[in-house]
Structures are given as structure tokens and as C-alpha cells.
Chain A
């Protein structure tokens, strides 16, 4: 069971109080009418699925019922930080899968 820090409640809460809600930092196109089908389709349906550092949207479903962002390592399940919507993550990194591929080339 993970303990997740809710940035609104300001304390660690049990994982069962939360729901994951997909990838974070997806800006809605400012002018949807001028989007091509490809651009709109990418916005609507296509999501990253990285191995390693991933920024996700979570909701404190049974607590304050607010959305916030989580930086999580998808390999280890480690939650590196949580931060409010509108803030920028402190922890960013190249997806591990890319780093490994580069290492593999040099070996």
C-alpha cells in the first residue's frame, strides 16, 4: 500500500483514497475549430506510456476530491513528488527506456 501526499490536504494518505486519471500536462488546443483531424485525434486519444519518469493526473477521490499531479516512476512505482495543477514538476528526466537504448549502442 502506497502512502501518497495530497498537496491540498497537506498530508500522506492511503493509496485507496486516490484514483489515477491518466497523463498530466495535456493542454487543450486553444482553437479547436482550426485543428486538423490528426491534431485533434492526438489531443483526444493518444497518450504517452513511458518506462520511467511519468507525470500523471490523480484525484483524491474520497478526501478533498481535487485533482493534482504526480511524478511517478512507472518501473518502480515510486512516487517522486506531488504538486498542484498549474505548477511545474521539480523532478523531470529522460524516460529510462531511452537512456538504456543509448547505453546499449555504446556498449
Chain B
């Protein structure tokens, strides 16, 4: 393992963590009953987000990552997932790894151990972004209002993830299930996207899941 200073960035003990949508008090909104909601939003908050960079043509590197995560390194616009862990292609030598809350430190150590002295980079960006999960029959309509990218299943099948323009802003859209989509939102845009989604999904009925 290379001589890199890796430390757990998640405070131990009783320190209170606030997700980017903390102020929206989604737990309270989740109690409301919305009849026939076409869109259900849930913030997958406080996950571990790691940016992994390395040489995709180096079989030793890809094998090491696959042995630690049990996930194949996806090719362009790909997304692989196992349980709550997902690995997404961001660029030819860059991937986004999302792991359950609190696992990012151990995962980073395991990856560095397995990858060894290769020229790679792993950066913990958990505090910089968050995940919104949208489910429901009308989610695609909401996305169509928000982005110029073609979100029809023929162009955007399950297991695809693209970074694109969204609501005059930029984020990553991930198609994780037939009626389930995820948005990777920058922390500073979290409120704006939240307000946008409320407006865009008002006509279909927006329910909040905690």
C-alpha cells in the first residue's frame, strides 16, 4: 500500500450529521399522505461517496477493484450495483463508488491495500454530494421537463448513468430500476434541485419517503 495518509472523515460518537437536505425536514414531510402520488422522492443521505481513479487498461488494477467490491468496473456510461453499493463510470479513468453510510473508510483502506503501489487516486467526496432517489410512474415525465437528454428507455436503459444538464444546472442521472432513477446532486445545488423537483412533480403528486 502506498504511503498515503488515509483517515476516517466521519466523526465518531454522537456528533450530529446534517445531510444537504437537512433543512427541508423530509422526515416531517414523509408523514403526509399523498393520494395517487406519481413521484416519490427519497434522499439517500449520508452515504459514502468515493471517487476512484486509475488506469482502466491495467488488468491488475481492475482485478483488484473487482476483488474488493465484487463489482465489475463499468465501461462508458455504465453503472453496476450490488445491494447498497454501486460503482459508476464517470470518465475513461474515473469512477464513482457509493457505499452504505460508515463503510467508506474501510472500503478505501481495502482498495488501497489491494491496488498496491499503482498510480491511482481515491478521494472521499461524501460531504460534497448527495443522492436523490425518484420512484413512480411519472418520474420520466419529470426528467423530461428538466433535461435535454433523451430519457426514453430505448436510449436510457436500466444500468446507465449520464452526467448532463438538468434544470439549468448539472447533475448525474442514474437509471437504477424500471421506475426508479437516482440523481447525484452537488451539495450546493441540493436545495435548488429540491425546489425544482417539487415544482416539476407538483402536477403528478409528490410524496416523500424518509
B163, CB-defined interface residue at 8 Å: yes
Nearest chain A residue, comparing its CB with the CB of B148 = A14
Pairwise interchain contact B165-A62, C-beta atoms closer than 8 A? yes
B151, CB-defined interface residue at 8 Å: no
Pairwise interchain contact A10-B148, C-beta atoms closer than 8 A? no
A2-22 with Cβ < 8 A to chain B: 8-11, 13-14, 16-17
Chain A 61-92 against B: per-residue CB contact (8 Å), 1 yes, 0 no? 11111100000000000000000000000000
Pairwise interchain contact A66-B165, C-beta atoms closer than 8 A? no
Which residues in A have their C-beta under 8 angstroms from that of B90?
64-65
B115-169 with Cβ < 8 A to chain A: 148-149, 162-165
Count A interface residues, CB 8 Å. Answer: 14
Give the interface residue-count category, chain B: 10 to 19
Most buried by A among B148, B149, B163, B170: B163
Pairwise interchain contact B77-A62, C-beta atoms closer than 8 A? no
Which residues in B have their C-beta under 8 angstroms from that of A65?
90-91, 163
Bound Cα distance A16, B166 (Å):
11
Which residues in A have their C-beta under 8 angstroms from that of B149?
13-14
Pairwise interchain contact B91-A8, C-beta atoms closer than 8 A? yes
Pairwise interchain contact B148-A66, C-beta atoms closer than 8 A? no
Pairwise interchain contact A9-B76, C-beta atoms closer than 8 A? yes
- Answer whether A17 and B91 are a contact pair too, CB < 8 Å, given A10-B76, A10-B77: no
Which residues in B have their C-beta under 8 angstroms from that of A13?
149, 164
Pairwise interchain contact A11-B77, C-beta atoms closer than 8 A? yes
Expressed in whole angstroms, the minimum distance between the Cβ of A9 and any Cβ of chain B is 6
| Residue in B77, B94, B164 whose CB lies within 8 Å of A17 | B164
Bound Cα distance A66, B89 (Å):
13
Pairwise interchain contact B91-A66, C-beta atoms closer than 8 A? yes
Which residues in B have their C-beta under 8 angstroms from that of A63?
162-164
Chain A 43-61 against B: per-residue CB contact (8 Å), 1 yes, 0 no? 0000000000000000001
Bound Cα distance A66, B163 (Å):
12
Which residues in B have their C-beta under 8 angstroms from that of A11?
77
Which residues in A have their C-beta under 8 angstroms from that of B162?
9, 63
Which residues of A line the B interface, CB within 8 A?
8-11, 13-14, 16-17, 61-66
Which residues of B line the A interface, CB within 8 A?
76-77, 90-92, 94, 148-149, 162-165, 170
- Of the A-B pairs whose beta carbons lie under 8 Å apart in the complex, a sample of 22, sorted by A's number, is A8-B92, A9-B76, A10-B76, A10-B77, A13-B149, A13-B164, A14-B148, A14-B149, A14-B165, A16-B148, A62-B163, A62-B170, A63-B162, A63-B163, A63-B164, A64-B90, A64-B92, A64-B163, A65-B90, A65-B91, A65-B163, A66-B92
Task: Give 4 new A-B contacts, CB below 8 A, not counting A14-B149, A63-B162, A64-B92.
Answer: A11-B77, A17-B165, A63-B163, A66-B91
